[in-house]
Structure 1
Amino acid sequence: MTSNPALAANTKPWRDPAAKPFISIRNVTKRFGDFTAVDDVSLDVYRSELFCLLGGSGCGKSTLLRMLSGFETPTAGQILIDGQDMAGVPADKRPTNMMFQSYALFPHMSVEKNIAYGLLREGKSKAEAYERVGEMLKLVKLEKFASRKPHQLSGGQRQRVALARALAKQPKLLLLDEPLGALDKKLREETQFELVNIQETLGVTFIVVTHDQDEAMTLATRIGVMTEGVITQVGEPREIYETPKSRFVADFIGSVNLIEGKAGPAAPDLMRVETDDLGPVVVPPTAGLTQGQTVWLAIRPERVWLTREPRPDIANSVPGVVQDMGYVGHMSSYVVRLANGRLIRVTQANESRRDTPITWDEQVHVGFEPSDFRVLTQ
């Protein structure tokens, strides 16, 4: 993260209060009968962003995307794209294109004909259309596959054809609904970086819908976390992960230990929280709390210390027993059972092969630095 505010504002316009959003979603609601799919959502997205809408199935993210594209009409609220109100503007007249999870390629057409189809339909000459097709094939590195049919391609190659077809018409805004959902894990991870490189090369604004937290963290300039039709938090990936504003966001993004307690007395630099699981814990002071108020302490597994002997330099330390563990090469994951039965998740890097690793049923100590806790009130 840059420390220069002026530079940050130039490269990350959402940090600049004076920046004009490219997309403005204002108090948008969508109801299907008695069911509210999107509930009074307001959101600004800036030009050339790769913005991710992240949430579980049924949270409203795809419905919001379909309203941007014109395939659904808001029940209430307003959507503006590049300053133009989209009310009454049909899908084919909007400066948008949409890429679906199924890719929807024409099976009887070659790769180049699939990409050219939309250009020819809108009246481009054959020469002009195929010149653009050549540019798109080069962009997605499929020049050698121009004459192949979709069934002769891998899943990753079909995904790139669909992306090239969506970008060929040069939309101002590309909407992608679970674009990598059909790919296996390794190919998905490789394609994520390809997608980012293509987006940065063209400078087109992307809005991506996904339920995959890792995918959103890898792709996005910013993430909007959705649940039950509302956006609960918007922020850069690091901000969403390190400083969640609620238990839902903390729990939905990655793995987290959530410990309930009561706010105790606060000093200028530390505050005490009384917990049943860890006893009294010291954490950074949080403004606006009253003594005795219920709070939740969120701490990521990689922030928890795990040692065989207690460390006197760690302010918060409790004994436990390793109940479970998993080795995944560069790191190990542990589940530690405390005396009262509470389970604490710990992740440690496997830094040295010469060390004797902690293993099942060992007596251990888990430690928590005060600054690694995030104090949540909701």
Structure 2
Amino acid sequence: MTEATSARALKPWEDPNAKPFLQIRNVTKKFGAFTAVNDVSLDIYQGELFCLLGGSGCGKSTLLRMLAGFEMPTSGQILIDGEDMSGVPPHKRDTNMMFQSYALFPHMSVEKNIAYGLKRDGVPRAEIATRVTEMLSLVQLDGLAARKPHQLSGGQRQRVALARSLIKRPKLLMLDEPLGALDKKLREETQRELIKIQETLGVTFVVVTHDQEEAMTLSSRLGVMTAGQIVQIGTPHDVYEYPNTRFVADFIGSVNIFEGKIAEDADDHVVIRSGDTASDILVSHGISGVKGQSVAVALRPEKIAIERTLPESLPNRLAATVDDVSYMGNLSVFHVTLPTGKQVKVSQTNRRRSEDDAIRAGEAVQIGWDGAASVVVTA
């Protein structure tokens, strides 16, 4: 353990003595000859809000359905709070699942929708009333108990579905694309509310989403999935700043990729010779690689400076021509072309209101970045 790590409280996934709440061990799911989930292993800890992130068909929803008990693994093992879930049907698991469609009963009031699971379980009326009142307050729907789903906004229906999922006090709540039906502004507001509710209750959440921003905003950690496998697990910061493969670098956010070969390999830096830039790229940290190896340099648009003239002290500087500029309000996005024909995306925060000295399409500029700004990926 480093001094920096010992100086702060360990996160559960950093603590070798912490016991995972959810353990997925070498789980595979096949449908005939098709492998939907391929030998996935994953530990999730009590109170985490974990996101499974990936594109359509990557296996994330199939994995979630296996956690819920709606599908059985072809091989492998799933343990929840130390209990093997092999052969345990959904209604016998101390879990619940919230679907993208919300699946509310249209003829029932908000109150009855939320209370439905408790009523089926035979919970006494007085306790149902108390727990429904608590849940309405938690999801900020006080005063709307008598309304029907069609009388609610999309965000309110989402909160009713969430309250119904949580009222039985599951140990694990699974959410399948829970905010997909909401518009951008409402989705952002609901994300914050979802985090507050999860933190208040301390229930372990596993969220499936294809939305990168949503996964980055919600999760304590996330797992990036493709072709039935989890290719990287980490905090949003780690996955974004330190992608371990070209796929992850390209899938999470925007990125520029420069192809090249290792020309110099030292403990504290490497030099990548790239035909995309027609020059060497300095990376001011060591990597796992050998001289002559083909690699890719991943560089986020916001890590790149763009000016008419950049200081010579910047280790990586390239001449470029501005193709177009997109004004996005809080930032401007520049698409530029290098003399080699390589196109590069650069983003810059708009700190000034005036456009008088703004860089415009057609101008000759320089772009550049620090040696620590880029990440070298080999797969």
Which range, TM-score by smaller chain? over 0.9
Q: How does 1:198-277 map to 2 (within 5 A)?
A: 198-277=197-276
Question: CA deviation digits over 1:318-348, x for unaligned, max 9?
Answer: 1111112110111100110111110010000
CA-CA distance at 1:7 after TM superposition: 3.6
CA-CA distance at 1:8 after TM superposition: 3.0
Q: How does 1:48-67 map to 2 (within 5 A)?
A: 48-67=47-66
- Counterpart CA distance in 1 for 2:106 and 2:349 is 47
CA-CA distance at 1:277 after TM superposition: 1.5
Give the letter aligned to residue 326 of structure 1.
S
Give the letter aligned to residue 178 of structure 1.
E
Question: CA deviation digits over 1:24-60, x for unaligned, max 9?
Answer: 0000000000100000000000000000000000000
- Counterpart CA distance in 2 for 1:188 and 1:287 is 39
Question: CA deviation digits over 1:139-167, x for unaligned, max 9?
Answer: 00101100000000000000000000000
Give the letter aligned to residue 364 of structure 1.
V
CA-CA distance at 1:216 after TM superposition: 0.3
- Counterpart CA distance in 1 for 2:203 and 2:358 is 48
Give the letter aligned to residue 334 of structure 1.
F
In the other structure, the counterpart of 2:129 is 130
Question: CA deviation digits over 1:67-119, x for unaligned, max 9?
Answer: 00000000000000000000011000001000000000000000000001100
- Tell me the SS of whatever aligns to 1:372: coil
Q: 1:6 to 1:17 in 2, by over 3 A?
A: farther
Q: Residues 286 and 375 of structure 1 are in contact (CA less than 8 Å); yes or no, is this contact kept in structure 2?
A: no
> Mean Cα displacement is larger for which, 39-48 or 269-278?
269-278
CA-CA distance at 1:263 after TM superposition: 0.2
- Counterpart CA distance in 1 for 2:5 and 2:259 is 38
- Tell me the SS of whatever aligns to 2:76: strand
Instruction: Provide TM-score, normalisation by structure 1.
Output: 0.97
CA-CA distance at 1:265 after TM superposition: 1.7
Instruction: Provide TM-score, normalisation by structure 2.
Output: 0.97
In the other structure, the counterpart of 1:366 is 367
Q: Residues 266 and 285 of structure 1 are in contact (CA less than 8 Å); yes or no, is this contact kept in structure 2?
A: no
CA-CA distance at 1:3 after TM superposition: 4.2
- Counterpart CA distance in 2 for 1:6 and 1:224 is 27
- Tell me the SS of whatever aligns to 1:63: helix
Give the letter aligned to residue 304 of structure 1.
I
- Counterpart CA distance in 2 for 1:287 and 1:336 is 29
Q: How does 1:306-325 map to 2 (within 5 A)?
A: 306-325=306-325
Residue 342 of structure 2 corresponds to residue 342 of structure 1:
yes
In the other structure, the counterpart of 2:289 is 289
- Tell me the SS of whatever aligns to 1:27: strand
Give the letter aligned to residue 357 of structure 1.
A
CA-CA distance at 1:221 after TM superposition: 0.1
Question: CA deviation digits over 1:157-203, x for unaligned, max 9?
Answer: 00000000000000000000000000001000000000000000000
Q: Residues 53 and 224 of structure 1 are in contact (CA less than 8 Å); yes or no, is this contact kept in structure 2?
A: yes
Give the letter aligned to residue 246 of structure 1.
T
Q: Residues 272 and 281 of structure 1 are in contact (CA less than 8 Å); yes or no, is this contact kept in structure 2?
A: yes
> Mean Cα displacement is larger for which, 361-370 or 106-115?
361-370
**Structure 2 unaligned spans of 5+:** none
In the other structure, the counterpart of 1:168 is 167
In the other structure, the counterpart of 2:326 is 326
Q: Residues 268 and 286 of structure 2 are in contact (CA less than 8 Å); yes or no, is this contact kept in structure 1?
A: no
- Counterpart CA distance in 1 for 2:8 and 2:367 is 41
CA-CA distance at 1:351 after TM superposition: 0.9
- Tell me the SS of whatever aligns to 2:332: strand
Q: What RMSD in Å do the two structures reach over aligned CA positions?
A: 1.2
- Counterpart CA distance in 2 for 1:74 and 1:107 is 34
Give the letter aligned to residue 369 of structure 1.
D
In the other structure, the counterpart of 1:299 is 299
Q: Residues 258 and 298 of structure 1 are in contact (CA less than 8 Å); yes or no, is this contact kept in structure 2?
A: yes
- Counterpart CA distance in 1 for 2:7 and 2:14 is 10
- Tell me the SS of whatever aligns to 1:296: strand
- Counterpart CA distance in 2 for 1:321 and 1:287 is 32
In the other structure, the counterpart of 2:156 is 157
